Every structure is written in C-alpha cells, then in structure tokens.
Amino acid sequence: MFKRLPEAEGAAVAVTIDGEPFNAREGDSVAAALLAAGRTYCRETPISGAKRAPYCMMGVCFDCLVTVDGVGNRQGCLVRVQDGMCIETQHSKRALGELGS
Amino acid sequence: MRRDNDIAVVGGGLLGMAIAYGLAREGKRVTVLDEGDVALRASRGNFALVWVQSKGLGMPPYTGWTIRSSEGWAQLVTELKEQTGLDVCFERRGGFMLCLSEREMETRAAVVRQIHSQEGVAKYDVALMGHGEIEKMLPGIGPEVVGGSYCPLDGHVNALRLFRAFHMANHRLGVGYRPGHRVEDIKYEAGGFRIQTPRGEVAAGKVVLAAGTANMRLAPMVGLSAPMQTDCRGQIVVTERVQPFLSYPVATVRQTDEGTVMIGDSYEDSADDMGMNLAINAVMIDRAQRMFPVLADVNVVRSWSCLRVMTRDGFPIYDQSETCPGAFVACCHSGVTLAAVHAYALAPMIARGALDTQQVGVFSAQRFHVQKAA
Amino acid sequence: MNAVPLPKSQYDSVIVGAGPAGLAAAAIAGKAGLSTLVLDENAQAGGQIFRAITSTPVKRRDVLGDDYWRGERLVAEAQANGATIVHGATVWSLDRDLQFAVSVLGQSQALRARRVILATGALERPFPIPGWTLPGVMTVGAAQTLLKSSGLVPDGKVVLAGTGPLLWLFAAQVLRAGGAIDTILDTTPRGNYWRALPHALPFALSPFRAKGLALMREVKRKVSVVSNVVSLSALGADTVNEVAFTRAGGAERRIAVDTLLLHQGVAPNVNLAMAAGAAHHWDDRQLCWKPVVDPDGNTTVKGIAIAGDGAGIGGAIAAVERGRIAALAAVEALAPAQMSQLPDRSGVLQALQRAERGRAFLDVLFQPAPQFRRPEGETIVCRCEEVTAAQISETIKLGVEGPNQLKAFLRCGMGPCQGRNCGLTVTEMIAQARGVSPEAVGYYRLRPPVKPVALKELAAMTQTEEAVNAVVRG
C-alpha cells in the first residue's frame, strides 16, 4: 500500500487498469500507477501461478511485467503512463495475438 | 594395477552420459571424467530435436541408425522417469522443415529424393507439402511459406532436462562423476588404462572417449583417430514463455514444453564459442518471423553460440582400438537424437568388449583413411 | 521506417548510464569536444541515486536531503557541455570491437564508439528469505524510487528489514515527508562491529560518520528498531501480512505488516561488462563480482572503461570522481590537446580519495550475514524460474562445479532477469557446498541480448550475405 504525499503535485494522467479508470500522475511509471491505485499484484507467474508485484522498480527483477496497450510482458517500472493507456494484469504466459489461446 | 572402475567414460555430455547409463544398466562399474563448469559443451547448447528427416545423405546406414534411436526413445523416456521422476517431455508427433521460396522448396525436394533413392536406405515416410496442406497442421504460418517437408518420425524433447535426468539416473545407478578431470594423458598398461588428470590418476579396465571435439586430441593416445571439424559454430536464440502456438517442431523453430520458443540452426566457420554474430541472429530470426508472423513482438531473452561436434564428414564415428584393446571412441553431432541407441545399442557392445561390426562397422574412422589412400 | 531515434551511428565516446558517473563523464567528454552520446534506460537523467532529479514532485528539499540535490548540478553540467543524452535506450549488446546494439522507441540499431565508458551502476543485492516474492515485499530502493519519482510513500504498517546505509537514509526520508515506519529489523551481524574496527579510523575522519550517526539518531527517535535480527520470513498467502523474525538466541516473534521493505546493500551491475568480455574477479570484502580495472577504469577489453559503482561500490560522490577520471583518460587518448582546459587529474584523484575514505569500514560493517546470502529449504533463489534453495543444494550434489551447469540443470538464471536476482546467491551456494572460494566457482556466462528485446528488432539488424549463407539451406 502506498499513498501520495499531499505536496506531490502533477497533472493527472487517465489510464485504465483491467478496464477500470484510474488517474495516475504525470511522471508515474506503469508500476507506480498500479501501486498508487492500490493494486496488490500485477501478474501471475507462468510457472506456479503465484501472484507477483513490482519488486525492484529499476528494471532488474521483471516482476512488474504487465500488458500495456495490448503488448504483453512490458516492464511496468520502465514504461511511463500516458493518457488513455490501457494497463492489464497478466495471467500465466504471455498471450500471442490472435493465436494465443 | 588396482582398478575401481570397469570402464572410464571421458566426457560428461549427453553422449558420455548416455553411454555411461547404458553401461551401468549392464552392471558395469563406471566413472565419468568431465571438464569443469566452463567448457565446450554442446549438451548445453543444442536445439533438442529428435530428428530423422534429412539424416543419412551420403551414408545410408546412418538413416537406419537414426530411425532405430528414434524408435528407442519411448523406452528411454520411461526408464528415466522411473529412475529420476523427471519428465523429459519427449514428443514424437512429426516435424517440419519449411521453405520460404520456390528455390528452397526445390532444394528440399531434391534432398528428400536423394536420401530415399540411395541403395539400402531404410524406408520411412516424408511428405512434401504445399502451403495449404501445411497450414492445416500449422495454422499460424505466414504467407511466405511456400511449402516444406513433414516426417511423422520427427520429434523433440527438453534436452536440458534430459541432460539432468542422465546425470541423476547415473548418480542413482552408482556411476561416479568427476568434474574438473580434464584428461591430459592416457597410458595403456597391463591390459588396462591409466588416465592422467590435474586432479589425479584414474585407472580403468576400459576407456570410452566421448569428449566431443576433444576426442581428436585424445584418440591418438589409445591408437585411435577421430578426425573432427573444430570450427563449426551454431547459434540459437530463445524467447520468453508464451502461450502454446506451435504443435509441431520445425527444424529451425520450436516451442518448448515451458513455452519458450527456440530459433536456430546456423552453421558458420568460427571456433569462438563466446562470440555472437548478430547478423546471423538477424537472418535466423527474420526467417522465423516470416514463418510465424505472430512471433514478431515476442521478446528474445537469451542467445548463445556453441561449437558443433562435427566429424570431418558429419557422420558419427564409433571405433575400437586394435593396439589398445578396451579403448573405444564415439563422436557424433546428434547426441540428442541418438541418445537411445547410445544407451541401448552402443553401450552393451562396449560392455561386452567389442563393437559389432555388422551394426556399427560402417561408422569406423577407417573410412577416412581409406579415402586418403584412394 | 520511422526516423532513426539516434542522430548518428558513430561517436567518439559512448557512455552507458546517466547516473552520477555517467553524467560526470559526459560533462568532461563533451567539454573536450568529443562527440559524446549517453545512453540511459530510464526516462530521465539521474540514475538511481539522483532519480527524477529534474522532475520529482517532492519539492521540500529537506525530505530527500542535500546529497540528493547535488544531482541537479551534474545534470546541468552534462547538458551544458553538449553531450547527447538519450533516455529510454536499452543497450543490449556491446562487443570487443566497441560495437553497440541499442533499442530506442521499439527500434534497434548499431552504433560504434571509439571509447566506451560503462556507468551502469549497482543493483540491490538479492535478499532471498522465505516469502520474498510475495506481493507487499519490495526492496528499499524500490520504495525510494516511488518516493522520488511519484511522491508515493508506503502506507499502513511498514517494516524495513536488513542492513546498510540506504535503509537508514530511506527511513529518514519517509519520516521527513510525514510518512510513518513501524519497525526496523536490523540484520547487521553483531560480529561485524568488531571486524570493522580495524577500518574505523579513516571512517571516523570522514564526513560519513557524522552524517550516518545523525541519520540513525533521527530515525531511532520515531521508529522502533530491533537489532541483531538473525532470521527473517515474510508470511502470507497471496500478499504479505506478517513478518516473522528472531534475534540471536531469542524465540521467533511475528508482527503484522502491510509493506515489508528489504535491503542488504548493493552490488555492481555487471551484465553488460561481462557480456562484452571484460574480466571480473570476486571481491571478498564487498562479496560481489567486480571488473578488473586499472586506475583510469580501463577494463581488460581495449577501449572499454567502467566508472562508478559498476566498477565496485564506492557511493555517489566517488562515482562522480571515477566518471571524471575515466572521461579524462578518454580525452587523453582521443584529443590530448584538449586536456589543458579540463580539470587536473591529480585534483580529481584527491577528491576520489576523500570520497573513498571510510568505505572499507562500511563494507565490513554492512556485510550481510551468511544465512541471508545462502538460503536453505523452500526459499526461492531464482525468482524468474522459481527455483528453490533445496533444489539447488540437491542438484549441486550431482557434481556441479559452477553456475553454468546448474543453470542447464535447473534453469536458474535463465529467465528474463538473466541472473541479476540469483547470480550472487548461486555462486555463493556452490562455493559453500564445494568448500572453495566464489572466485573458483565463477559466474554465469552472459551474452547479448543483456536485456530482453523484441524479435522484430533483432531481425531488423544488418544481414550480411555470409550470414544468409550460414542459415539458408533449403
């Protein structure tokens, strides 16, 4: 759980997280937006299905992998939010376009 | 001379471990001598096909030997599962070679024709198919796929799990495994072998050389020869895990049981197994995404280069020493495909003390000397 | 095809990383007139320590502290001296011919440099405890990134666990920002105080002593601190809700937690340097791999230097000086006539010595305890492939001498993080089991791509006729 400091200013950036609208802030990474939105996890691993959340926030751990605008396995901590961005949590292996079952 | 071992196997890769496994099944006391963590190791860098089509052009008995191994795989998988609990994910539903131009298709058709028209070659099914027919089996192929060949005997396996399973099974069967024992010299004395390594001497009644390209250096120590190519490099790239999309292995693209996609099959002249030729990766990957356009956005996670273990003519060498009886040499490029015959056919011959020339005489290194003389 | 994001394909100097070392190097190289390109993976300059320095929403300067705001000047100097800084650039290949492959905005391209300075900094050391993969468990560095970039502070019951200066600095920053921390579980081994004693004098004379003590006092006034913690587990089903710990000789205690932040120091980020072929050795005091470098930062690969924490942990101030030294060496090699207008090397060296004073004391004092570096049982070691300590220990018994055979057997280190989260642990576990040094065990053999990159980008790299012949057979 994270909360925004009252002094922290910044323009709102409207995104959706699993279809729900959320106002992130300019400068947020996708992973930061997920945490600010109170999301407890961002993916389920392809191996055991365990839930994972952002861990290192600096591009190292690959635990913040999410689907951004339809592209799977993006590192949420390295992608900045943009207006209209569609962020989706991932379940198991990355889906492959139309062929992904 | 005190000998703790009936047989020393030099080389702890898939070939050496398959032979050691077969010897242990025959009740032999076996020790495997291996190099350390960093070594030329094709067993950690291969493409994991159990492949029949395309094998044997120029040496018809190799086709039969390959088919025999392919048939032996079911037993090997079952045994390894019993011994180790590991499922090596062997699948034999058939496999494809795909062509991206009419010219490639013509070459493919000619190779298939040539292999099958050889005298004495084992007969098996290979179908040449056009785009439409292939698309029914591989729904994701791209428009540039002109056609290809399909062989129902082809398959693939999780080769790293196979590698681990052999190590575990041999461990359970009491096979000694000594890493860091790079063989420096082998002496034939009093009907046995004294093998020198930086970590001491190992004595054995018989010795089997299964050390990949190092066989070239080792074979002359026991009156054998193993003419190898020493600079044949292959590269492979592998992707992140994705949902299953590919039901059959293609010779250059396959999806593993884990979900990753391997892309490979380059041959270049280089002896540097740490180098990486990005232009070759570009060609391999470009072809793979033309075969399966859905791959374009998938991320490559790793790539590697590895030296192929390639005899001078590309076919296996199995030989026994006349001057040092009890010394054997085995070299092959297809250590995965041939694992079953190595465990179930070759190892029992070695256990008995002599190769059966009816079965494997054609693979003797004598063929190189004959050619030289002629 | 879209416009190529990078203006040129050849530069005098290419610097990887826009943290303290990279920025300082860029300012010098740029000032000397070298065509200089800085490639940085992040959206903005600053690296980790000065993250979001040009944009942080945390405007009250006392929150992040004076040391943070030093970064403003570094960025300004690099920009003023004409270096091109490209953000969102992922360098995925560098070879012995100083040829790069870099991905920017979804396109990859080749680049060549006459001199390379790697300033890829440090990573937080793996902290493999039971439950460290649970949502709600993060690194202290991760939480600090959220504070700097987004003005986010941890909420609810917050526990920090581990050892090292960053833990105390972050705690102070949260408190100053008006946040709260419930408990700090200090895992610094008691014996470290004695072992560090021989290095105490230079530390006592350095500015770090006063700063460090003040920071700890500031935190201890508001946070309950449990010292000498010798075991630690994060508990919960789908998210952490308790942390279990024991003090030396004590019984297990549990406290409720919403966010558990872990930290036990940092280690050089070696992946790119290793993949480029630079030799590394094991450092017994910092317990990590370090590149073999000369005093100018030159590695064993001609033309590639490493500056900053990537060449061994020295902290931000030392990183700046090491960046300057590496850049001076580059200028001396490529444009010696420009040396006269640059800072004198001996002055920079003196500044470096001052910055490094006391480092040995910190290294020894904050060495993480063995049980937090070499886990046992069902604790996950490789987060990507979910490989446990028990699997690793069991497999080592097959006669595994090093991490590459282990990787082949268990897939540890094969996932997208490419060993960054398990490499040190795996090396130390094998060394322990074999009774040899980590140096004798070695590390994963790393190769490009050092970060995952899309197939289509790799496919778009130059294809030569030779390469086609190596692949196409029909």
Peptide bond just before C449 cis, omega within 30 deg: yes
Q: How confident is the model at residue A98 (pLDDT cuts 50, 70, 90)?
A: low
Q: Over the range C342-363, which residues count as b (16 or more CB within 10 Å of their CB) and which as e? A: bbebeebeebbeebbbbbbbbb
CA distance C284 to C281: 10
The pLDDT value recorded for residue B374 is 46
Q: How confident is the model at residue A99 (pLDDT cuts 50, 70, 90)?
A: very low
| Mean per-residue pLDDT, A57-74 | 97
Is the pLDDT assigned to residue A34 strictly greater than 50? yes
Q: Which residues of chain B have pLDDT under 70?
A: 1-3, 371-374
Name the one residue in this structure whose structure tokens are 């963590």. B37
- Looking only at the bridges linking them, the beta strands covering C36-39 and C84-86 are parallel
Q: Which of A94, A97, A98 sits opposite B241 (nearest CB)?
A: A94
The pLDDT value recorded for residue C252 is 98
The pLDDT value recorded for residue A1 is 87
Contact B297 C456 (CB under 8 A): yes
Is the pLDDT assigned to residue C78 strictly greater than 90? yes
Cα-Cα end-to-end distance for chain C: 30
Q: What is the pLDDT of residues C150-193, one digit of tens each?
A: 999 999 999 999 999 999 999 999 999 999 999 999 999 999 99
The pLDDT value recorded for residue A101 is 34
Is there a contact between B178 and B199 (Cβ–Cβ < 8 Å)?
Answer: yes
Q: Is A78 on the interface with B (CB under 8 A)?
A: no
The pLDDT value recorded for residue C2 is 38
- Determine the residue of chain A that is closest to B246 in CA distance: A99
Q: What is the pLDDT of residues C118-162, one digit of tens each?
A: 999 999 999 999 999 999 999 999 999 999 999 999 999 999 999
Is the pLDDT assigned to residue C1 strictly greater than 80? no
Cα-Cα end-to-end distance for chain B: 43
Q: Which of A9, A47, A56 sits opposite C142 (nearest CB)?
A: A56
Residue C180's H or E segment, with its range, is none
Q: What is the pLDDT of residues C29-71, one digit of tens each?
A: 999 999 999 999 999 999 999 999 999 999 999 999 999 999 9
CA distance C376 to C387: 12
- Determine the residue of chain B that is closest to C471 in CA distance: B266
The pLDDT value recorded for residue C406 is 98
pTM (2 d.p.): 0.97
In this complex, the chains that touch B, judged by 3 or more CB pairs closer than 8 A, are A, C
CA distance B260 to C416: 11
Q: Over the range B71-80, which residues count as b (16 or more CB within 10 Å of their CB) and which as e? A: ebbeebbebb
- The 3-class secondary structure across chain B, one letter per residue, is CCCCEEEEEECCCHHHHHHHHHHHHCCCCEEEECCCCCCCCHHHCCCCEECCCCCCCCCHHHHHHHHHHHHHHHHHHHHHHHHHCCCCCCECCCEEEEECCHHHHHHHHHHHHHHHHCCCCCCCCCEEEEHHHHHHHCCCCCCCCCEEEEECCCEECCHHHHHHHHHHHHHHCCCEEECCCCCCEEEEECCEEEEEECCEEEEEEEEEECCHHHHHHHHHHHCCCCCEECCEEEEEEEECCECCCCCCCECCEEECCCCCEEEECCCEECCCCCCCCHHHHHHHHHHHHHHCHHHCCCEEEEEEEEECCEECCCCCEEEECCCCCCEEEEECCCCCCCHHHHHHHHHHHHHHCCCCHHHHHHHCCHHHHHHHHC
Q: Which amino acid is at B292?
A: F
Is there a contact between C437 and B69 (Cβ–Cβ < 8 Å)?
Answer: no
Portion 257-286 of B in contact with A at CB < 8 A: 259
The pLDDT value recorded for residue B2 is 55
Q: Which residues of C touch A89 (CB under 8 A)?
A: none
The pLDDT value recorded for residue C3 is 42
Contact B294 A99 (CB under 8 A): yes
Q: What is the pLDDT of residues C358-416, one digit of tens each?
A: 999 999 999 999 999 999 999 999 999 999 999 999 999 999 999 999 999 999 999 99
Looking at chain C, the whole-number percentage of residues with pLDDT higher than 70 is 99
Interface test with C, best of A1, A4, A29 (most C CBs within 10 A): A1
Q: Is A55 exposed, middle or buried (0-12, 13-18, 19+ CB in 10 A)?
A: buried
Closest-CA distance of chain B to residue C457, Å: 8
A4: which strand partners?
C152
Name the one residue in this structure whose structure tokens are 């898939």. B14
Interface test with C, best of B128, B276, B302, B303 (most C CBs within 10 A): B302
Q: Which residues of B touch A99 (CB under 8 A)?
A: 139-140, 243, 245, 294
Q: Which residues of C touch B167 (CB under 8 A)?
A: 398-399, 409
Q: What is the pLDDT of residues C438-452, one digit of tens each?
A: 999 999 999 999 999
ipTM topping 0.90: yes
Q: Is C175 on the interface with A (CB under 8 A)?
A: no
**Nearest-CA neighbor of B269 among B309, B233, B216, B312?**
B233
Residue B141: C-alpha distances to residues A30, B236, C460, C468 (Å): 34, 21, 20, 21
C50: Cβ–Cβ under 8 A, 6 or more apart, which residues? Answer: C19, C20, C68, C70, C71, C74, C75, C316
Q: Which of C397, C454, C474 sits opposite B108 (nearest CB)?
A: C474
- Alpha helices by DSSP H, C107-256: 140-150, 165-176, 190-196, 200-204, 207-220
CA distance B299 to B263: 12
Q: What is the pLDDT of residues A12-29, one digit of tens each?
A: 999 999 999 999 999 999
Portion 313-352 of B in contact with A at CB < 8 A: none
In this complex, the chains that touch C, judged by 3 or more CB pairs closer than 8 A, are A, B
Portion 26-65 of A in contact with B at CB < 8 A: 46
Is the pLDDT assigned to residue A100 strictly greater than 60? no
CA distance C315 to C112: 30
Residue B63: C-alpha distances to residues B75, B219, B264 (Å): 20, 26, 23
A-C CB pairs within 8 A amount to: 138
Q: Which residues of B touch C448 (CB under 8 A)?
A: 276, 278, 303
Name the one residue in this structure whose structure tokens are 């590639």. C304
The pLDDT value recorded for residue B345 is 98
Is there a contact between A42 and A50 (Cβ–Cβ < 8 Å)?
Answer: no
Q: Is C435 exposed, middle or buried (0-12, 13-18, 19+ CB in 10 A)?
A: exposed
